[in-house]
Chains A and B, each alone.
Chain A
Amino acid sequence: MIGVGKIKQYTNVLEKPISKGKQEVSLSAFAFLFSELVQYNQTHVDNISELERRLEDAGYAVGARVLELLCHREKGNRRETRLLGILSFVHSTVWKVLFGKVADSLEKGTEHEDEYMISEKELLVNRFISIPKDMGTFNCGAFVAGIVRGVLDGAGFPAVVTAHFVPMEGQQRPRTTILIKFAEEVLQREARLG
């Protein structure tokens, strides 16, 4: 029938226009989904570091795609070549799009030249999660660490990214810090660029 139908059918997903990124779902929908991800992985691993690695791998895939999407949409396909540039891209743009606010702080590590830290008082993914005592230092923020690693890797800044709880004075819940340790080649390149 001619002229009927509101939605234009795209045969190829690549022809669909990219959304503006304004659509929202409820936080609880995301929280339920994330809890299922963690629960599913819990049944498939023997120890905590394996669980963290799987969450990180899931996050890595998200990060790689977020980089592509945001580079195209927010930055007009310009890519960051400097370390501080990509760090502030992660700290501001990526965080703003994914979590609705910029990250609480971005710091350079004092002990090592190649370490940087992004801190957040309460990670969105950790809001409804409590870690039982026998899981020690496990942090579901490994998912977010994976996202950051995905973004950095895709942008050409290979790094090891981990999530840690940092207890704060006078606060019940510890702060979460995403620790980024860049690979040697990144620092060498940065030094050459001056």
Chain B
Amino acid sequence: MPPVAPRSGDAIFANVERVNAELFTLTYGAIVRQLLTDLEEVEEVNKQLDQMGYNIGVRLIDEFLAKSHVSRCVDFKETAEVIAKVGFKMFLGITATVTNWDAEGTSCSLVLEDNPLVDFVELPDTCQGLYYCNILSGVIRGALEMVSMKTEVTWVRDMLRGDDAYELQVKLLKQVPEEYPYKDDE
């Protein structure tokens, strides 16, 4: 059977079932509020959001690969492009742009112009250290770890803190070779 050509983000998004973004936004807000009430420390909430994102990412990658039919990415540059153009579009309906490649090609920035997670949100003074969208960094980290890339994802710019866009820095730490779950000689 000839390999199926990879589908563009728009095509996949048009084909998946969709829900109102406001339900999504408000549910995420409820989650962050619950975490803030339970954990009280802003750093703890950041960590918990990242952990939740990680859990989502390891399952999201399966759906992503199944629906998008992308072939194996040749290098990290292609990976970043695929995440920005297909991944974000397919799940959140937004496109990101990839910028700021470093000299070795292991670190780049994903810039999001609009972000359905932060509609109607304003950070109060008591939560100034909070990375409200930290779940996204966990999702990317979890998803990439499942395809053998250990990465570090951090927020560079955050509109809720007064910047003009959302910018995530994705840094490839190392490629982990795939291990077989069983030994050959047993």
Check A33–B24 contact: CB distance below 8 A.
Answer: yes
Kindly count the residue-residue contacts between A and B in the assembled complex, taking CB atoms under 8 Å apart.
120
Give the complex CA separation of A69 and B120 in angstroms.
Answer: 10
Tell me which of A12, A25, A39, A97 contacts B93 (CB under 8 A): A25
Asked whether B155 is an interface residue with its Cβ less than 8 Å from the other chain, the reply is no
In the complex, chain A residues whose CB is within 8 Å of the CB of B52 = 36, 40
Q: Majority SS of interface residues in chain A?
A: helix
Q: Does A13 lie within 8 Å of B92, measured CB to CB?
A: no
B residues within 8 A CB of A59? 30
Quick check: is A193 within 8 A (CB to CB) of the other chain?
Answer: no
Output the least CB separation between B39 and chain A (Å): 10
Distance from B44 Cβ to chain A, minimum over Cβ atoms (Å): 13
Q: Which chain A residues lie closer than 8 Å to B65 at the CB level?
A: none
A108 part of interface (Cβ distance < 8 Å): no
Q: Does B119 count as interface, using CB distance less than 8 angstroms?
A: yes
Report whether B24 and A30 are in contact in the complex, using a CB–CB cutoff of 8 Å: yes
Supposing A25-B24, A25-B92, A40-B52 touch, asked if A32 and B34 sit within 8 A by C-beta, the answer is no
Are A27 and B164 in contact, with the CB atoms below 8 A? no
Residues of A within 8 A of B1 (CB): none
| Neighbouring A residues of B119 by C-beta, 8 Å | 19
- A39 B55 Cβ-Cβ under 8 A: yes
- B12-48 vs A, Cβ < 8 Å mask (1 yes, 0 no): 0100111111111011111101110010000000001
Which residues of A approach B to under 8 Å, CB–CB? 5-7, 9, 12-14, 19, 21, 23-30, 32-34, 36-37, 39-41, 44, 54, 57-59, 61-62, 65-66, 69, 97-100, 124
